[in-house]
Structure 1
Amino acid sequence: MGDTGTPVLLTSAQRTGTAVLLAEAAERRGMDVRVLTGPHTLDGLDERTVHWYGGPFTARRITDRTGLALLEPPDDWLARLPEEFTGRRIEASTLSKAWELRRPAFVKPPGDKSFPAAVYADGTRLPRTGKRVGPDTPVLISEVVTFAVEYRLFLLDRRIAAGSRYAVHGRLDVAPLHRDRYERHVRRFVRRLLETTGDLLPSAVTVDIGLVRDPESGRGRWAVVEANMPWFSHCYAAPPDAVLDVVLRAAGPRERVLPSDRRFLRPAAHSPLRAPRAP
């Protein structure tokens, strides 16, 4: 795919608030914004520079036709972190192993949304059938902790490009990171995290962190909540223009992928979205 023509931001048909904000930011830059409503939307994009914001399942089906390269954190990244950064025990496993749980645990698919991420009373409460789940579905099994406050951070080249608070005591409570009461603590924790483990993440990524309160002492410690793909993350109160910088790096032309990012590429699906054949 070449670089001729105006760059394109392609978004899914699900018009979330973030998709609208990023589309507006892209238009301010002179980009061509298109909503993927079917195979015909991809017509004429063969020689265009295409970027993506939307879900992973659709994204995987359009990579061949658009030349997209999608960066994502490794499924086991959170489980590989030292406990000083997680504040809890985390295991990378499979859904079949999670079915055997006989205790409460927080269980989630590491990258996609194949089933709800939640605290499950035991393994019997987890899904066993479905279009996108099966015994070998990767999961993260985490010790249950309570976050007093949580932040979403869009990272680019090992620095915070944009950030937002998104929850307080588990409830949606959105505010900009800039001038937040914990901004200095957030930046200091993320700096230490990236200095220690930054090479385990792609150059453009979303990381959520939070403050865990000890119920007995009342003391708090900062911990990583999870890492995600910027091209499938809500921006909350983060500045859309800065978020767009991260999205464009994380989901763009294959030939522009940095050598250090190639190991973080999401594999393409075997069933690409194709244009219908003429009768």
Structure 2
Amino acid sequence: MTERDFLALAPQYTTTSELLSASAHRRGMEVEVLPAHGGVDTASGRRGGHYYGGPAFAARVVDALEVALLEPSDDWLTTLPHEYTGRRIAMATLGEARGLSRPAFVKPPSAKSFPAAVYADGSRLPEGPELSPEVPVQISDVVTWSAEFRLYVLDGEVRTGSQYSTFGRLDAERLEGHRYEGAVRDFADGLLAACGDGLPSAVVVDIGLLATPEGGAPKQWAVVEANMAWFSNCYAADPDRALDVVLRSAGPRAQLAGRDGRFCRNVEDAHPAG
């Protein structure tokens, strides 16, 4: 660690921010909670640190902090072979989705402009002045996940993870020692070897075990989605290992690796090193 290494936290408290803060302190980093209003200066006036918190608050402070935010592309999930998704997934506009005549799972790929949910048809999708017909959305077949896991990935390797739900209910359990650990890691290793180039070097990947109708095909592991590590709940994952991923996912712009430039949220101000 250098004297410039610090972790800046959004003002909204979460259990994950508390866990990551404690982990950062253990490795000798300074942690500062940014003010909810007014300027974004840290107490020491430093720049080029790391960030954890929501994207709306990040938009206000990352330029001043000189932080590069990494996030997976909106269409990554739609580029995966069916063997990794287990369902049909397509990108569309909200206007196009309003024409759906069947039930579908619809979500904004990265923004939180409306709730990700199963909608009976396109007419049930939310409306509002901020929801223009051009808003990008992701449309998926409706499936049931018997178990879902969050994996913290750094340089194509799963560093830690956690089960976070069973049949849609919160059910956090650490990956290490879990009865599905071997199957989860095997699936993730194959996925990352085949498709990891389409992800930033630090990212969270959610995978799950698809439930199948009685008498149907064997259960299948599949990708749920990919997310920004700097805005993800770590559930029961090892916070020390999760922090490694978070720090890379939202770190100093001067240290941004060349391969990550295309995944930088504030790319116009970020200049990859090397």
Provide TM-score, normalisation by structure 2.
0.92
Report the Cα distance in structure 2 between the residues aligned to 1:45 and 1:122, rounded to whole angstroms. 53
- Alignment of structure 1 residues 149-168 onto 2, 5 Å: 149-168=147-166
Q: Hey, what's the Cα distance between the residues in 2 that align with 1:6 and 1:30?
A: 11
* Distance in 2 (alpha carbons) for counterparts of 1:150 and 1:78: 16
Shift of 1:145: 0.5
User: What is the match of residue 64 of structure 2?
Assistant: 65
Which residue of structure 2 aligns with residue 39 of structure 1?
38
Cα shift at 1:217: 2.4
Residue 157 (structure 1) shift: 0.5
Counterpart-to-counterpart distance in 2, 1:130 and 1:30: 47
Name the TM-score, length of structure 1 as normaliser.
0.91
**Per-residue deviation at 1:5?**
3.7
Equivalents in 2 of 1:232, 1:257: separation in Å?
A: 18
Matches for 1:192-271 after TM superposition, within 5 Å: 192-217=190-215, 219-267=218-266
Where structure 1 has 5 or more consecutive residues not aligned to the other structure, the ranges are: 271-279
Q: How far did residue 111 of structure 1 move?
A: 1.2
Amino acid of the residue matched to residue 12 of structure 2? Answer: Q
- RMSD value over aligned CA atoms? 1.9
Name the CA distance, whole Å, in 1 between partners of 2:142 and 2:108.
16
C-alpha contact 1:45 1:66 (8 A) present in aligned 2? no
**What is the deviation of 1:115?**
1.4
After TM superposition, list the pairs within 5 Å mapping 1:65-104 onto structure 2.
65-104=64-103
1:231 is aligned with what amino acid?
Answer: W
Structure 1, residues 137-182: CA drift from partner, whole Å, max 9, x if none?
A: 2211000010111100000000101100011111111100011111
Distance 1:181 1:9 in 2: 34
Closer/same/farther in 2, CA of residues 136 and 245 from structure 1, 3 Å limit? same
How far apart are the structure 1 equivalents of 2:100 and 2:57? Answer: 32
Answer yes or no: is the 8 Å Cα contact 2:40–2:61 preserved in 1.
Answer: no
Of 12, 17, 20, 1:19 maps to 17
CA distance in 2, matches of 1:94, 1:55: 24
The 1-side partners of 2:204 and 2:76 are apart by 13
Shift of 1:59: 0.9
Which whole-Å deviations, capped at 9, do the CAs of 1:24-47 have from their partners, x for residues lacking one? 111112222111223334256654
**Cα distance per residue 1:229-273 (max 9 Å; x no partner):** 000100000011111000000001111111111110103799xxx
Tell me, which stretches of 5 or more residues in structure 2 are unaligned? 270-274
Displacement of 1:60 in angstroms is 2.0
Mapped to 2, the partners of 1:43 and 1:236 lie a distance apart of 28
Amino acid at match of 2:75: D
Work out the CA distance in 2 between the residues paired with 1:157 and 1:228: 15
Measured in 2, the distance between the counterparts of 1:251 and 1:152 equals 18
8 Å CA contact 1:7, 1:48 repeated in 2: no
Contact 1:61 1:268 in 2 (8 A): no
Q: Which whole-Å CA distance do the structure 1 matches of 2:192 and 2:215 have between them?
A: 29
Q: 2:133 aligns with which of 115, 129, 135?
A: 135
Distance in 1 separating the partners of 2:43 and 2:32: 12
Residue 275 of structure 1 aligns with which residue? none
Q: 1: distance between equivalents of 2:46 and 2:34?
A: 17
CA contact (8 A) 1:153 1:206 kept: yes
CA contact (8 A) 1:211 1:223 kept: yes
Helix, strand or coil for the counterpart of 1:152?
strand
Query: Aligned pair in 2 of structure 1 residues 45, 251: CA closer, same or farther (>3 Å)?
Result: farther
